[in-house]
Structure 1
Amino acid sequence: MSATQAAQGADAAPQFSRRTFLTVFCALVMAMFLAALDQTIVATALPTIAGDLGGVNHLSWVVTSYMLAATAATPLWGKLGDLYGRKRMFLTVIAIFLVGSALSGLSANIGQLIAFRAFQGLGAGGLMAIAMAIIAEMVPPRERGRWQGYAQSCFVIAGVVGPLIGGAFVDQLSWHWIFYINLPIGFVAALLVVSVLRLPFRPNKHRLDYLGSALLSGAIVAVLLISVWAGDQYSWGSVEIIGLIAAAVVLLGLFVLQERRVDEPVVPLTLFKDSTILVATVGLFLTAAALFVATVYTPLFLQVVNGATATESGLMLVPMMIATVVTLTISGKVVSATGRYKFFPVSGLVVMAAGLFLLSTLDTGSATWLTSVYLVIFGLGFGLVSQVLIVAVQNAVDMRQLGVATAAANFFRSLGGAMGVTIFGAVLNSGLRHWIPREVDGAVLQEKGAQGVLRDPETIRGLPDAVREGVGTALANSLQSVYLLAMVIALAGAVVALFLKELPLRSAPGPQKK
């Protein structure tokens, strides 16, 4: 079987041999594996990293800095791929990602790690967007459900092995190695792309919207800082928060004005006049926000409340990832066979919400296996959502906007994840401030301080039984609010998905007829 790269107008569609196509496809999947691995491999290691370099209260920033940079960079990389060629940009983002990985592994303090993770995120923002755009360019929309299902199945494999590798490195070697593991994989992926991928590209004169990129990045930073600081470090009525709100509103307004007047906008606002794209991107935002509760905060629950090691908490996430792979693969095949896709995001988000509600019922007396069962339910739902919404976006645009549309979809998915991590982190910290004084003996708190008893899982396991149980109860109670908030977000996503317009999937490349 051969695959066809979509062309616009009268351009001929080049043919790929099966061997060439599969080689390119594997290289793209390896690159997506990198981006996925660096989110999931840190999940089980985060409590140890945060404890080693600065405390549990910094846990969300190790994730947020990465996702903030990835989110802000995603639309720009998608546009650069359209303007300068996706192969060139693909190799660029791999190089940035690998340099960031090496520097993150060399970090000696929390400030360095957060900064290097942000640099790493600049590359990660392009990996998924450009890789998925190349796949979409090589196959027609009717076949994308199947091939992107395969791609994201391999992507989710990183979710299976990531927590295990991260936990094993923390327990047996050092957390620094969770970043070094990216280097050989990235080198092989880059080598395959250089040697095999051939995509025709006709350079043309253009101007890149640097001002629009800067305005969008500034607005995102302001919004995320509000979600982290408001009600925590600063009150909602403080000068700092009011100033950030004003800055976010002004920057977003200026961004909209800028995008309307330039010829080459970073995010063409006309895309969102299409209801399919608007609904799908909002759905991706809400889905990603709910996802990171399970992948970031459940390992913390397992290690602190259940006393699991990093490796054991990684094993507890495996059933969820396997469930995700199963439903993701099945949904991709069904979409390719039938051309129907609306059912999957609606039902998937409802199932995710059910899993999150069940997770909110966990407490210090809950069996560890029960956590895995609830995670499986969550994973079954998640596998039905993300890939299908990406296909819906790509099917709604012509090939000239494929890269920027894919990047816009991934931008909202990344933004949802970043917002989710920061908001849930703020909710968790607020809950801990409420519950720790009520569950932990006052004399111990006075001696060690809240950060002393929450430093990292190893420290917590070494506390006296009564203190350890109090810390576990406080964390479990705090996480209940986090899971319930995520459940509400997932249900909101299901309501949004009800408005998804189900366009016929094209069986050949070209602009969609609406």
Structure 2
Amino acid sequence: MSHRKVLEALSGLLLGLFVAVLSSTVVSNALPRILTDLHGGESAYTWVITAALLSLTASTPIWGKLSDLVSKKVLVQAALVIYIGSSALAGLSQNVGELIACRVLQGVGAGGVTALAQICLAAMVPPRERGRYSGYFGAVFALATLGGPLIGGVIVDTDWLGWRWCFYVGIPFALVAIAVLQRTLDLPAAPARTTRTRIDYLGALLVTGAVSLLMIWISLAGRTYPWLSWQTAAMVGGAAVLAALFLAVERRAAEPVIPLGLFRHRTVALAAVASALVGVGMYGATTFLSQYFQLAREKSPTMAGLLTLPMILGLALSSTVAGRLITRYGKWKAYLVAGTALMALGFALLGTLRDDTPYPLIAVPMAVTGIGLGLTLQNLVLAVQNTVPRHELGAASSAVAFFRTLGGAIGVSALGALLSDRVGRYLAENLAAAHVAPGGSALGGGEIPDLGALPAPFVPLVTDAFGHGVGMVFLMAAPFALLAFLVVLFIREAPLKTVQEAAAAPLVRT
């Protein structure tokens, strides 16, 4: 395919990817306002994010396996339809429970779009040429990450719109993406199946149950019950049992949701571990930037989005430049090593955040972190796609995304619990030092505080607590990025293939 034909085929995929990423980022700056309206607390803040990540995690390998069996074009359009329906329902939510349930459905649709976009690219373009197009994916990811908080902030700050439009705004883009895909996406081939397709739903259910138990345990331990308690033993033990059952089911399944044979490839195994560690830092730490700017710096949702520009611009620039350099020279490992190292450095520097930290000392670490993410995210997928045979591209690509979002779901839950605990402690210390009592519900019940409704003497006590707490979250994220750096050192660099591998089975149009 010529460069022009590839871009035409990718146009709908890139638009769909924009919509999928937008579904997560558009609510980030709006969440404090949304949860104030729906009377949700810090735990609800965490679960609105992790609910989508968890369903995205569980559904990604299913989408990947389906892409190896049936039409990729139909699948990506179906994922967009799920996104449209769940977004409309999310905008109608009347309480936190309804919102979280709708976010679960949004995660299913977004998981399909993000996984299938990479899989369709791998089906069209040989690995050596994939770098330049991966750069486009990175740029769109950055654009959605940049545009999402800004769009969400403007919507929340516009009285005649309101926060519900944060969920409605992506629907027109998704409809256009479906139409564009129908016209432009014409993948040439897929293996013909001579036996009935079987999807390993039991495996997906078991892994979802295991992760959910861990997340519930992390969210509640230390507050609802002690870390060392029978509840901890029951949840951790239950998660271990479900994980063991998952492995047993995958060994016997005709079409396993995550083929364990993939991990015979050293690159796949190491990339999966690195992706999980990157996910912890990326999702877990960056989720709370909007809380920092709004609750520690007293900025509006719109301004909070603008202040994160250095991270997003760093991600967009590094992913685009690295993609072109990889296509030109065929080398990719150095970018993974540099990217994970920069992530660790950026998170460590952001660990010094306080409510009065000068903005240049925030902007530089954010840019460093963004550059690191841009060098890492797409290239972990590229390394795996360059390793496995064509008939395993879907499962292998989705496995990388699975472990990245799995790490992200656990990271958001764990770091969110840490943030809630630290903010509570720092706030109690500040109130005691000021010799004042909380007085009223504004600081009680663990709800996200409305700074505008607080008495003036309380505001600096709250901003100090949130500034210190978010800094601690970034500091705890840094070791995970450092571990990812150590893992990618052991990945062996293989020359990128310069031709697309032929399919092993008879071909049919998809």
**TM above 0.5:** yes
Change in Cα spacing, 1:308 to 1:453, as seen in structure 2 (3 Å) is farther
- Contact (CA 8 Å) 1:307, 1:461: kept in 2 or not? no
Question: Does residue 27 of the first structure (1) align with residue 12 of the second (2)?
Answer: yes
Distance 2:324 2:199 in 1: 38
Distance 1:462 1:506 in 2: 60
Map 1:6-405 → 2, pairs under 5 A? 19-57=4-42, 58-172=44-158, 173-199=161-187, 200-201=189-190, 202-205=192-195, 206-405=197-396
| Deviates further, 73-82 or 294-303 | 294-303
Distance 1:453 1:92 in 2: 39
Measure how far apart 1:435 and its partner are: 1.2
1:448 pairs with 427, 441, 444, which one? 441
| Deviates further, 109-118 or 225-234 | 225-234
Measure how far apart 1:142 and its partner are: 0.7
- Contact (CA 8 Å) 1:344, 1:385: kept in 2 or not? yes
Distance 1:211 1:114 in 2: 23
Distance 2:502 2:258 in 1: 19
Task: Supply the AA of the counterpart residue of 1:123.
Answer: G
Residues 417-449 of structure 1, C-alpha deviation per residue, up to 9 Å, x if partnerless? Answer: 111111110100111221111112564414336
- Residue 507 of structure 2 is matched in structure 1 by none
Distance 2:342 2:491 in 1: 18
Distance 2:355 2:105 in 1: 38
- Contact (CA 8 Å) 2:39, 2:447: kept in 1 or not? no
Task: Supply the AA of the counterpart residue of 2:53.
Answer: M
Please give the root-mean-square deviation of Cα atoms over the aligned residues, in Å.
1.8
Task: Supply the AA of the counterpart residue of 1:120.
Answer: Q
| Deviates further, 373-382 or 325-334 | 373-382
Distance 2:184 2:371 in 1: 35
Task: Supply the AA of the counterpart residue of 1:448.
Answer: S
Distance 1:54 1:448 in 2: 11
Distance 1:453 1:404 in 2: 41
Distance 2:135 2:372 in 1: 15
Measure how far apart 1:407 and its partner are: 0.8
- Contact (CA 8 Å) 1:283, 1:496: kept in 2 or not? yes
Measure how far apart 1:104 and its partner are: 0.7
Distance 1:151 1:507 in 2: 20
For these two proteins, the number of residue pairs brought into alignment is 495
Structure 2 unaligned regions, length at least 5: 504-510
Residues 68-111 of structure 1, C-alpha deviation per residue, up to 9 Å, x if partnerless? Answer: 11101110111111112211211111111111111111111111
Distance 1:198 1:511 in 2: 17
Distance 2:419 2:77 in 1: 38
Measure how far apart 1:465 and its partner are: 3.2
Residues 457-479 of structure 1, C-alpha deviation per residue, up to 9 Å, x if partnerless? Answer: xx213423331101111112222
- Contact (CA 8 Å) 2:25, 2:149: kept in 1 or not? yes
Distance 1:220 1:242 in 2: 15
Change in Cα spacing, 1:454 to 1:213, as seen in structure 2 (3 Å) is closer
Change in Cα spacing, 1:174 to 1:295, as seen in structure 2 (3 Å) is farther
- Contact (CA 8 Å) 1:72, 1:220: kept in 2 or not? no
- Residue 11 of structure 1 is matched in structure 2 by none
Distance 1:461 1:373 in 2: 30
| Deviates further, 370-379 or 152-161 | 370-379
When the two structures are superposed, what TM-score results if normalisation uses the length of structure 1? 0.93
SS of the equivalent of 1:380 reads helix
Task: Supply the AA of the counterpart residue of 2:277.
Answer: L
- Contact (CA 8 Å) 1:45, 1:310: kept in 2 or not? yes
Distance 1:74 1:164 in 2: 27
| Deviates further, 444-453 or 182-191 | 444-453
Task: Supply the AA of the counterpart residue of 1:300.
Answer: Q
Distance 1:92 1:442 in 2: 58
Structure 1 unaligned regions, length at least 5: 4-17
Change in Cα spacing, 1:498 to 1:42, as seen in structure 2 (3 Å) is same
Q: Structure 1 residue runs of 4+, over 6 Å off?
A: none
Distance 1:239 1:324 in 2: 44
Measure how far apart 1:21 and its partner are: 2.9
Distance 1:85 1:123 in 2: 16
SS of the equivalent of 1:117 reads helix
Distance 1:134 1:453 in 2: 44
SS of the equivalent of 1:384 reads helix
The percentage of counterpart residues that share the same residue type is 37
| Deviates further, 99-108 or 369-378 | 369-378
Distance 2:442 2:429 in 1: 14
- Contact (CA 8 Å) 2:138, 2:315: kept in 1 or not? no
Task: Supply the AA of the counterpart residue of 1:181.
Answer: V
Measure how far apart 1:453 and its partner are: 8.4
SS of the equivalent of 1:508 reads coil
Measure how far apart 1:297 and its partner are: 0.9
Change in Cα spacing, 1:443 to 1:33, as seen in structure 2 (3 Å) is same
Distance 2:290 2:78 in 1: 33
Change in Cα spacing, 1:338 to 1:19, as seen in structure 2 (3 Å) is closer
- Contact (CA 8 Å) 1:47, 1:56: kept in 2 or not? no
Distance 1:158 1:374 in 2: 21
Distance 2:446 2:144 in 1: 32
- Residue 13 of structure 1 is matched in structure 2 by none
- Contact (CA 8 Å) 1:306, 1:368: kept in 2 or not? no
Distance 1:21 1:354 in 2: 37
- Contact (CA 8 Å) 1:305, 1:472: kept in 2 or not? yes
